[in-house]
Amino acid sequence: MAVFRQQRFPRARASVRAARQFAGDALAAWGVSERRDDIRFCVSELAANAVLHGVPEGREFCVRLSLDEGVLWIEVRDSGPGRPVVRHADLNAQRGRGLWLVTALADEFEVRDEGVGKSARAGFKTASG
């Protein structure tokens, strides 16, 4: 049986930490301990991208986690224009590696248009669910 949790967050830097905590709480409630650090890191990266690049002023973004048949999905949705671009990792760069790291850690990654805005989804195979 699939389970999910979702929460909306304001466009604020503090929301990145709040989204990571939200994810950690969901993982603990579902008994998911494997890949916990990778999952929380990817939530942080996707939330940071939403705050910095995706969420228009005065709007919110939504973080949804779902667990179904051994796959934990992270989905971060915002209402901003444009699509995130996965860049080649420049090891000397101070910024711009977040999505590359998400694609390296996750088993699956996709960006979907949502009519208004987009969602970035990352899937992690787990022994739970």
Alpha carbon distance 42, 23 (integer Å): 10
Q: What is the pLDDT of residue 116?
A: 87
Its sign, for the CA torsion 102, 70, 111, 19, is: negative
Q: What percent of the chain has pLDDT over 70?
A: 89
pLDDT given for residue 87 in this prediction:
65
Q: 84: domain range?
A: 3-125
pLDDT at 89 over 70: no
In terms of Cβ atoms closer than 10 Å to its own Cβ (0-12, 13-18, 19+), residue 63 is: buried
CATH number at residue 15: 3.30.565.10
71, 124 contact by CB (below 8 A): yes
The model's pTM is: 0.91
Write out the two tokens for 87: 């860049």
- What total of structural domains would you count in the chain? 1
pLDDT in tens, 19-69: 999 999 999 999 999 999 999 999 999 999 999 988 889 999 999 999 999
